[in-house]
Amino acid sequence: MTTVNPLSPEAVNQIKRLDLRARTVVRGFLQGLHSSPFHGFSVQFSEHRRYNRGDDPKSIDWLVYAKTDKYYVKRFEAETNLTGYIVMDLSRSMGFTHRQQLTKFDYCVCLAASLCYLMIMQQDPVGLITFGEKVQAGLPARSRRGHLADMLGHLAKLQPAGKTDLPACLSQVASMLRQRSLVMLFSDLLADPEPVFSSLARLRHGGHDVILFHILDEAEVRFPYDGPTEFEDPESGEKISIDATGFRQEYLDAINQFQADYRQRCSDLRIDYVSMDTSMPFDKALTEYLINRQARF
């Protein structure tokens, strides 16, 4: 197993590759989220504001017009800033890379930094929550320009290590969030799926919009091994020797079924399931996902 610093030069260069096209697409996507996560839910009245060209005439408060002879619209909580949280898996398995420059954790940092940057640019607060076996101290949601540096600085101090308890940590995150938020979860999902589904359902029942970024190393998707090979469980340290050539098809069938199950169950929960591997240019993969999501809405 090879590991590199989470903010290695390779990771920093990847973050800088977020081009204008990706920025434009992501901005449009985030702007659309200002109302879409709350569609179908009751919303709380916040205040009145003057009617502006382009506002929906149906939102005009005619009682206020009768008193003031001026047009005002009702503003609701769902129209206020979107709050996002980067939720990052810090288990030891996230530090794995077979031959790519970026580990799975590096790759997640690139994606998270891109989304964080774009949310802050449109003044949406975004925070960071990390977890292993327990939820660890992160950063509160803020929207000031210097917050991106704070986020990256915090991530730079972290090293993927130890085991993870994904279901328990997701349940804890659900209990921590006091307002409806956009939860962007980054993990390799190396855990029993059924308890994870239950915890994801709890997040959704709390009214949160959830995007699950399932990040795997290229080798975990394609299994480029031949002959007698020893594998080590990164979290338990358990080792096993197998004939990789004879085991390849069984493994590929299993990983494909694993991803298909997540895709279907997340669809049932109205959670976006985004499967990526570290051989994909992160900006291209992120842009393609956002374009596909916009097309669905």
Comparing CA positions, the residue from 287, 275, 282, 271 lying closest to residue 109 is 282
Instruction: Supply the pTM of this predicted model.
Output: 0.78
d(CA 296, CA 270): 12
Whether the Cβ atoms of residue 188 and residue 94 lie closer than 8 Å to each other: yes
User: Confidence band (pLDDT; 50, 70, 90) for 148?
Assistant: confident
User: Confidence band (pLDDT; 50, 70, 90) for 138?
Assistant: confident
d(CA 131, CA 166): 8
The mean per-residue pLDDT over the stretch 137-163 comes to 88
Structural domain 9-34+82-296, CATH architecture: 3-Layer(aba) Sandwich (3.40)
Q: Where exactly does CATH 3.40.50.410 map onto the chain? A: 9-34+82-296
**Structure confidence by residue, pLDDT tens digits, 79-97:** 456 899 999 999 999 999 9
CA dist list (Å): 147 to 9, 124, 150, 153, 162: 21, 11, 5, 10, 28
User: Confidence band (pLDDT; 50, 70, 90) for 176?
Assistant: very high
**Structure confidence by residue, pLDDT tens digits, 38-83:** 333 334 445 677 777 767 777 788 887 888 888 877 765 444 568 9
Quote the mean pLDDT of the chain: 83
